Structure 1
Amino acid sequence: MRNSTLVTVPMLFFILCGTAVAEVSSTLEKIRNTNSITVGYRESSIPFSYLGSDAQPTGFAWEICNRVIDRVKEVTGSADLRVATQAVTSQNRIPLLQNGTVDIECGSTTNNSDRAKQVSFATNYFYTGTRLLVKADSAIKTLADLNGKTVVSTTGTTNFQVLRKANADQNLGFKLIGAKDHAEAALLVQTGRADAFGMDDILLYGLRANSRNPDDFAVVGEALQIEPYAIMLRKDDAAFKKLVDDTLASIIDSGEFETLYKKWFESPIPPRDINLNAPMSEQLRENLQNKTDAPSV
């Protein structure tokens, strides 16, 4: 009896663990079983995913994910599907996706090879590069001007890693510090505690446009590297990835993607009705044809 118990308990443990992992990895099954989907969003990644004046998520990525949710309702036959939301940060977005807290992340996450070891990405839907947000009267115009300065970037982002590597490889001589999110990083520049904020240029344009005095800031410097953004999904979940990719393909082929792009990047957007004036890049136009999910290195 004693030997039987010792064998059975570990077996039961592994069976239960295996079941839990299977439920988390099969997103559509999880959604069917709970009649709910949890969407991860960012609180200050303008114009992709952020809180509007009504304290509810909004943005370009958020609208795309709403189209995905509509498709999920069709596939699962659940018109009354409960949609829950969960704010995520650069640091916790991958763990929360992996452990099943969120089912899809609609933010401003770079699709790169390192992250692809932990999660999957849908078709790339934006391309950007790391540049600098500075005060308008700053002497900083290029990376070479950062010598002896303090540069902030958001902890857990690829931008932080890119800046650290550039600092070492090019002997730029700046001090790199971390902030918990984009809003805090911008505040450090505004208050003079940092001289520049290194981040994806489109996010910097969004933060600048929605600041109290946009003319007080400038986005400067050459882009360190070009990186794609994509919706983040759990790894090895082919059925859900296909659903998301097919939804994106439908939006692109119908012309709705370009309509959404013009709405969020070339028109006044909330909360301050400022136009980012960010025309579509050649990289993105090319990917509207190719529809690739290829990561950056």
Structure 2
Amino acid sequence: MRYKRIVSSLLAAGLLAAVTLTGCGAPDEETVLSKDVVKVGCKNDVPNFGLMNIDTREFEGFEIDVAREVCRRIYGDDVKVEFEAVTAKTRGPLLETGELDMVAATFTITDERKETYNFTQPYYTDHVKLMVKKSAGFTDFKSMDGKTIGVSQSATTEQSLQEAADEAGISLKFSGYSSYPEIKAALDSGRVDCFSVDGSILSGYLNDSLILLPDEFAPQEYGIAIAKRNNKLAAKADEAISEMKQDGELEKLMERWGLTQ
């Protein structure tokens, strides 16, 4: 009898735990949708997209404005949006752990990434390009044969360029860095021969001693990323982007930051 009572107690406890977990799982999405403060991951090294103003100590840029407007349309005018700087390497993990509710940080949509995250429809499309020193004498992609390309860690750039190199019959070496300023510094010092990332990002680092080569590769569609567990938030964010395209708000924001295509 004592054994039966123990088994019954364990079964009851297990059932209660299951009910509790089931009950907790469902409201999570609703809790996310009723927040007063939304945490968004953004870039802090991409001029015109995401960069902290050193005077105001506030993040500024196209993606900052897009994220604010998306949050306003989802949560209402009184919502507070808190931004946190991320890199290509940190943005995914911070989203997965729940430290961030969404990420708007030049996050390229790929089939592989869609297996891990929810993405909205694209709010901006770019292409991978190449930035080199004028004095180096490079004229196009094929002239980079045997050279070292500086790329961002965990970005899609290396894969895109390697595929293009294979097609062109040239050889490339790659060196990964955690931030764009580090790649720019590596180019300036001669540790790499080329800085490669999306063209709009490179434009923010151009100066009189640098040029963009004419070649472009692999369309890069940026979407707002949201954790897989937050499907309702993802659907509402996608709806907001769709509305912004239809009512012209997205185009206005691109014009504001000189990104009209």
- Please give the TM-score of this superposition, normalised by the length of structure 2: 0.86
How far is 1:45 from its partner? 2.2
Taking the aligned partners of 1:83 and 1:22, their CA distance within structure 2 comes to 24
How far is 1:192 from its partner? 1.3
Q: 1:7 to 1:118 in 2, by over 3 A?
A: same
**1:65 and 2:67 equivalent?**
yes
Contact 1:143 1:172 in 2 (8 A): no
Partner of 2:88: helix, strand, or coil?
coil
Taking the aligned partners of 2:103 and 2:245, their CA distance within structure 1 comes to 20
Paired AA for residue 63 in structure 1: D
- Give the corresponding residue for 1:134: 132
- Give the corresponding residue for 1:232: 225
Q: 1:128 to 1:37 in 2, by over 3 A?
A: same
**1:247 and 2:240 equivalent?**
yes
- Give the corresponding residue for 1:274: none
Q: What is the alpha-carbon root mean square deviation over aligned residues? A: 2.6
Contact 2:33 2:75 in 1 (8 A): no
Q: Please list, as runs of the form range in 1=range in 2, the aligned pairs for 1:81-100 lying within 5 A after superposition.
A: 81-100=79-98
- Give the corresponding residue for 1:258: 251
Contact 1:150 1:196 in 2 (8 A): yes
Paired AA for residue 39 in structure 2: T
Contact 1:31 1:37 in 2 (8 A): no
Partner of 1:37: helix, strand, or coil?
strand
Give a deviation string over 1:230-280, Cα, whole Å, max 9, x none. Answer: 111222644322322232233222222222111111xxxxxxxxxxxx541
Residue segments in structure 2 that go unaligned for 5+ positions in a row: none
Contact 1:49 1:106 in 2 (8 A): no
Larger radius of gyration between Structure 1 and Structure 2: 2
Contact 1:37 1:82 in 2 (8 A): yes
- Give the corresponding residue for 1:268: none
Partner of 1:101: helix, strand, or coil?
coil
Give a deviation string over 1:152-194, Cα, whole Å, max 9, x none. Answer: 1001001122123334454422211101011211111112111
Taking the aligned partners of 1:167 and 1:107, their CA distance within structure 2 comes to 27
Contact 1:154 1:180 in 2 (8 A): yes
Q: 1:252 to 1:176 in 2, by over 3 A?
A: same
- Give the corresponding residue for 1:158: 156
Give a deviation string over 1:29-84, Cα, whole Å, max 9, x none. Answer: 2252x53211111111222222223332111111011112212332xxx83x4433
Q: 1:96 to 1:125 in 2, by over 3 A?
A: same
Q: 1:71 to 1:149 in 2, by over 3 A?
A: same
Range with greater deviation from structure 2 (118-127 or 166-175): 166-175
Contact 1:129 1:200 in 2 (8 A): yes
Partner of 2:242: helix, strand, or coil?
helix
Give a deviation string over 1:204-234, Cα, whole Å, max 9, x none. Answer: 11222xxxxx111111141122121111122
- Give the corresponding residue for 2:41: 40
Paired AA for residue 92 in structure 1: T
Residue segments in structure 1 that go unaligned for 5+ positions in a row: 209-213, 266-277, 281-297
Taking the aligned partners of 1:38 and 1:227, their CA distance within structure 2 comes to 24
- Please give the TM-score of this superposition, normalised by the length of structure 1: 0.76
Q: Please list, as runs of the form range in 1=range in 2, the aligned pairs for 1:189-200 lying within 5 A after superposition.
A: 189-200=187-198
How many residues end up aligned between the 2 structures?
256
How far is 1:198 from its partner? 1.3
Instruction: Report the identity percentage.
Output: 21
How far is 1:151 from its partner? 0.8
Q: 1:175 to 1:243 in 2, by over 3 A?
A: same
Paired AA for residue 40 in structure 1: G
Partner of 1:120: helix, strand, or coil?
strand
